[in-house]
Structure formats: structure tokens, C-alpha cells
Amino acid sequence: MTERRLSESGFPIEPVYGPADGEQPGEFPFTRGVYSTMYTKRPWTMRQYAGFGTAAESNARYQQLLAAGTMGLSVAFDLPTQMGFDSDEPIAHGEVGKVGVAIDSIEDMRILFRDIPMDKVSTSMTINAPGSVLLLLYQLVAEEKGLSAAELNGTIQNDILKEYIARGTYIFPPKPSLRLVADTFAYCRAEIPKWNTISISGYHMAEAGATPVQEIAFTLANGIEYVRAAIKAGLAVDDFAPRLSFFFVARTTLLEEIAKFRAARRIWASVMRDEFGAKDPKSWMLRFHTQTAGVQLTAQQPEVNLIRVAAQAIGAIMGGTQSLHTNSFDEAIALPTEKAARLALRTQQVLAYETDLTATVDPFAGSYAIEAMTDTIEQESRDLMQRVFAHGSSVEAIEAGFQKREIETSAYRNALQVDSGERVVVGVNRFTINVEEPYEPLRVDPTIEQAQRERLVHLRATRDQAAVDKSLGELEKAAGTGNTNVLYPMREALSAKATVGEVCHTLRRVWGTYKPRETF
């Protein structure tokens, strides 16, 4: 039984409030949270999304974050890595190390996690099309340290469908991409059982302009598509569903965000139990990571973003998130400075240890406003999901441009409201100042690209090229069949020091690349 905390006035705060015969936290359909005790025993996992420049620079930032009290790492990769290109390819020019860390091979991954206890730190990797490639590199480095893959705990985003909708870092067409996702599910069940194999993301749709209802509807529709793909590949639902996770945004509209998270849990629980016949209660749970809304940060008066981020974090916490990243106040200007990243983490720590938000589970339960908004968001999200499935499936709706069109319409409406002043943005269209204080952003060393090129030249000159060629040939053969899990030959290729780009180009030759429709 959870010990009751005392209020500042000295009276006990109950771990759970509400009628004994009503829905309880940790019970189907999990409106009140996926666990019975939620934060009353331990707070959410505090992650900070970080990665820039070289693996060595990012490793130094990770060491700083861990020393400051971060509970889990969240790796940002540069654009070439996200798109499956090596740093020395012409298409990568000018982007190496800019929006995240450049990872070309197992040697970079070794440096990235040097002196980091990979068996004790939960690591999230924001990588999609080549998500399986980076996961295998992580596993190989951990095993070089003498760790068992069974000890590893973390998440790869691995959500390719939202890339076609809102973000654009796709490589392969939808069908082989879904096969790769299903192969990752099967591989992790056998090899890395604690790993969360996918983080089905609404965050990037929200950043592109999706409303909370659209964020939930399109994300859960994609989740259903992944479940169908895994079942079609021969996996039993209860073998992979407990390792599914989700990724949502937290906006400044606290009440709607709290209701959104509650509604999402309720919908997913009923879908998994009633539509897919899952028997394991863990398969019904919608567990999710939250990031505060980067799109709501402003370059004007950037310190005001500290208040925005704190408010957004409260919404995520009251909505029952399992882990949280708080954006740094200077992210609308450039990559976060060390001080800004530390303040973002301190925001979470103040909320966890100085407030009473963790004293009781689901304190908004029973609120007339929250309960009504939860019901409304649930119904509107279900209705929108049916509009998606009217196309046949989420993939077919994507190919028809449905989700993208709906989000763009919402984004345009929001922009008009900001321009007219109907939607207030402090420091932008109201409460402005004439002179901004100078701010020195973090700058990425422009010599990084050349350094990565030189590392790749040395790698290719010193590795066993025959072993690389043989392993890439095995990967190509496996990709051409429909019944071979491609992660096993992929692992052998990466172990032989094949690069991320070489692995992805091998798959491109077999599966092709996705070409979006120009008009809808």
C-alpha cells in the first residue's frame, strides 16, 4: 500500500480519490492511468533529447545531463543519419551534425556511449526509417561492454507511417517499411525483450499543425496498422503489444491536453481488447512519452519559453505520461546551450519534488470540465479514425493524402488566428518589446563534416572488406524474400563495420524508395 503524503498544512493526501465502485487507476480502460500508483511511488522518467555534432560532443552532453539528474537519455540524430546516408555522401553536405549527432558506423556508436552504463540508463532513440539499424548498433556496442541484450531498456521511435504524413524522413515505400517494423518486433521479442520496439508518434503531426483530436485519431489509426502488420507477419498480439509505446505533444492548453491523454488511453484499451482480442492487460495499456511543444516556442523574448514549458509539463504530468522531455527555452533560436538544457531538466525536478503533483493519482478525475472534455475528445477521435478507415486502412489514407490534407487545413487556420490576433502568442502578437537582449546560441563546428569524412575513409581502409561485402550480400538476399527476418543479416553487416548508408542502400536496391504524390 502506498504511504500517504502530508500536505503543507499537515493533513494526509490520499493516494487515490473517488468512489470505491468507480473506475480505479491501473484498471481497464485506464482512463485514470496505466498503473495503480502512478507517481506516488516514483516519478515519471525524466529524459532530455540531445545530440549534436560528433559522437564525442554528444557523449559529453550526455555525461552532463546524467550528472544533473537525468534518468534517461534521448538521442537526436542528424538528418543524413535519419535518412540512411553516410556523412561523406554528396546529399549529406551541409547537414552533418546539424540537427543531431552524426552516426555512420559502429565506431561512432562506441564513442557516443563511452563510459555510459547502458544496462542502467534507459535510452530512447528518435530514429525511424533506419531505426532497426541504429538499434542493432546500440546492441552491438552494449555486448562489446560485456552486457547482455536482455539487460537493455529503451525505445526506438521506428514509426514510419507518421513520416509519410507529417515529417518526411522516410526511405522505403510503406509496405516494405511495415515489414521492417514487424521484423523489428519479432527480433526484439527474441533478442532484446525489454526494449520498446516502436514509439507511435503524434508529436510530429502536432508540430505540423494537427489538433489534439487529429493527433490522437491519426496516431491510434497508425498504431492499429502496425498491429495488423505484425499479426499478418505471424506474431501473436500478446507477444508484441506490451512493448508498443506512444509519443505525444503537450501544449499550453492544459485542460484539453489532460483530457486528450485520458481519452487516448481509453480508446487504445478497447481497441486492443475488443478488436484484436488481446488477453494480457499489458497489451491494453497505452504507455507514452511526452515532449513539450517545440512549435509553441518563440525566438522573441525566449525566456518566456520557460513559463510555456513549465505549463506544458504540468499538462503531461496530470495526463499521466510515463516519461517526459522538457524543451530548452532557446530551441527556437538554435540547439540548446548547456545552461538551457539544465534549466529544462530542473523544471521537471521542481515539479516532481517541490510540488504535490505526485502525491495523488489522477487528481483531475471527477472534474466536470475534464470528464466532459475527455468524452468529447474520445468521440471526435473515434469519428475521425472511421474517416481514416473509410479509405481501407491508414496506409491507403496516407496514399490518398487524407491525413496530410486535414493537418494542413488545421495549420492554416491556426496561422490565420495568430496573424489576426485572435490567438494570443505572448511576445509575438501581444506584449511585444522593441529591443531584444543579445543572445549567443550554441553553434556547431563547421569542420565536423570533414572530420566524419576522414573517419569513414579510415574505416573503409582498415576493415575486412570481403566480410562486409559478404554480409551485405546476405542482407540483400534476405530483403528479397518474404519470410526472412532482415535484422539478423543486418546485424552481421554492422558488426563487420558496414556503414549505416551501405546497409540502407542495400535495402534501397531491393525495396526501392518512396516517392510522394505531388498533388492530392
Q: Is the pLDDT of residue 76 over 60?
A: yes
Separation between Cα atoms, residue 377 and residue 260, nearest integer Å: 6
Antiparallel, parallel or unpaired: β 122-126 and 198-201:
unpaired
Q: Is the pLDDT of residue 520 over 50?
A: no
CA-based nearest residue to 487, from 127, 103, 232, 181: 181
Average pLDDT for 156-185: 95
Q: Tens digits of per-residue pLDDT, 19-72?
A: 999 999 999 999 999 999 999 999 999 988 888 889 999 999 999 989 988 888
Q: Tens digits of per-residue pLDDT, 328-367?
A: 999 999 888 889 999 999 999 999 999 999 999 999 999 9
- How much of the chain exceeds pLDDT 90, in percent? 90
Q: How confident is the model at residue 2 (pLDDT cuts 50, 70, 90)?
A: low
pLDDT at 453: 96
Does residue 493 sit in the same domain as residue 392? no
pTM check: above 0.85: yes
Average pLDDT for 460-487: 96
**What's the gap between Cα 366 and its chain centre?**
30
pLDDT at 518: 58
When divided into structural domains, the chain yields a total of 2
Does residue 462 sit in the same domain as residue 413? no
Question: Who wins on pLDDT, 4 or 116?
Answer: 116
- How much of the chain exceeds pLDDT 70, in percent? 98
Last residue of a domain, one of 400, 420, 440: 420
Does residue 172 sit in the same domain as residue 317? yes
Q: Is residue 330 part of a domain?
A: yes
Does residue 264 sit in the same domain as residue 349? yes
Q: Tens digits of per-residue pLDDT, 492-510?
A: 999 999 999 999 999 999 9
Average pLDDT for 411-440: 91
Tell me how far CA of residue 110 lies from CA of 83, 128, 142, in angstroms: 21, 21, 9
Does residue 230 sit in the same domain as residue 285? yes
Q: Is the pLDDT of residue 176 over 50?
A: yes
- CB atoms near residue 17 (< 10 Å): 12
Q: Is residue 18 part of a domain?
A: no
Does residue 41 sit in the same domain as residue 157? yes
The pLDDT mean for the chain works out to 95
Q: Is residue 460 part of a domain?
A: yes
Range of the domain at 453: 448-511
Separation between Cα atoms, residue 51 and residue 228, nearest integer Å: 33
Does residue 150 sit in the same domain as residue 237? yes
